[in-house]
Amino acid sequence: MNTYVFDSSTKKKLFITFGIGVLLLLLGMALFGGKPAHDEHAKHGAKHEVVDTHHEAAKEAAHEGGHHAAAPTLGLTLIANTYNVFYFGFYIALAALFFLAATNIAWGGWQIQIQKIPLAISTTIGFFLLCLCIMFLLFSHDIFHWTHEALYIKGGKEYDAVLDSKHDFLNLKMFWIFTISIIVLCIGLVAKWWNTLNKMDVAPTRALFSSSRAIAATSIVIIAFIINTFATWYWSMSIQPHWYSTMFTWNTMAGGAVTFLSILILFIHYLKGKGYLPKVNANHEHDVAKLMFAISVFWCYTWFAQYMLIWYANIPEETEYFRLRRNMDNYGILFHGAFVFNFILPFFILMTRNSKRSKKTTIVAAFIIIVGQFAAFFIMNCPPLLPKGGFGLISFGLLLMVGSIFAFITLTVLSKIKDLASTTHPYVNESYHHHI
């Protein structure tokens, strides 16, 4: 069994999961305690709100919230949560591409049998980019405060000197230039990896194998210096446009990477449970779990370093980022809970050798990390839009819905791959005999 068959029972389970997500979403909407969706904020994206979260040093009276300082509407809550789950999915797919590049440029052999899983996951990047573009076209004023022209009219009531100083970079023309560039680069990288790895299944050659390392080197540079950098700056950091952090891109990519690895271990267990990948053993699972452990520690390092540097500098427009998030009246519980789920629990659960080789333990750790990183991405993106009460049934309903679509696309693509275990790859024997 070297070609995956997307069976009807798995499809049925995904449809059920999607249905549960819809029910949670509807229940969250029914129980929503804020203003109704037809409120003026939902219609106009708080167009006339003059205070940004980071203008606190000059306007202390606005210390109680983000640029949507009033109680969030149902419409804005749906927009913020939908945007966050698409952004989260994009980074999972991007991390899958990075995994392919990093393991190939390192001449890795252990991962050869499972490399088609990240290849399939990476193809979902097209879906997430499409969804993000729709969000940008329809809701840019709701998500990005800096898009309102009144902020740049000198002498006007809403004039913002800080944003005006950034206007050469932070404007819709530049935003779309970099967004379109990211889309082209992402689709190009996915297509290149797809063609290369599938050609290697049909007609493997030394030249094709050598070219994969050149593609890997190019991919790492493009992902690290262009896609990750400008995606985080424009699509996430600019939601709170007065604030900035030099650690933000590292922290975001670390979060996407550890989530991807958690999903990868779940797919490995699923495929092996169906009788596929018979030569993938506890040693391969150990390596994936070891990376989950290591990158959760790295995520904590970047998370703490960002916090420590901003706390140490004590610059008002920087410290406001954490004031909005760690305040117990806002998202303090979620903020500290994300730290527990993303570092403390994975650290102690995956610390020992035996735990990394245990199916049940790695599955539990994977689900903990996925939920924890979903909360961490919400903390990154949503508090400026939803100062209070934005995380709940609506968030998890959308996560299950989009997660079901993500799994459906991944498994559909996986079923199109003829050689699931990459049996013709030059390093496949190294993978067969991998032992740690």
C-alpha–C-alpha distance, residues 384 and 377, integer Å: 13
Amino acid identity of residue 364, one-letter, is V
Q: State pLDDT tens for residues 172-216.
A: 999 999 999 999 999 999 999 999 999 988 888 888 888 899 999
Name the token pair of 270. Answer: 């699923």
| Entry field: residues in the chain | 436
The pLDDT of residue 68: 52
CA 405 to chain centre: 15
Spell out, as residue ranges, where the chain has pLDDT lower than 50: 37-66
Burial class (CB in 10 A: 0-12, 13-18, 19+), 122: buried
Neighbours of 354 (CB within 10 A): 10
CA 418 to chain centre: 29
3-state helix, strand, coil in the chain (%, to 5): 70, 0, 30
> Do 420 and 277 contact (CB within 8 A), yes or no?
yes
DSSP for 93-127, written as a single string? HHHHHHHHHHHHHTT--TTGGGTHHHHHHHTTHHH
Name the token pair of 106. Answer: 């390192």
Q: What percent of the chain has pLDDT over 90?
A: 78
The pLDDT of residue 413: 97
C-alpha–C-alpha distance, residues 163 and 143, integer Å: 16
- Closest among 341, 302, 334, 329 to 388, alpha carbons compared: 329
C-alpha–C-alpha distance, residues 81 and 85, integer Å: 6
The pLDDT of residue 46: 41
Q: State pLDDT tens for residues 95-129.
A: 999 999 999 999 999 999 999 999 999 999 999 99
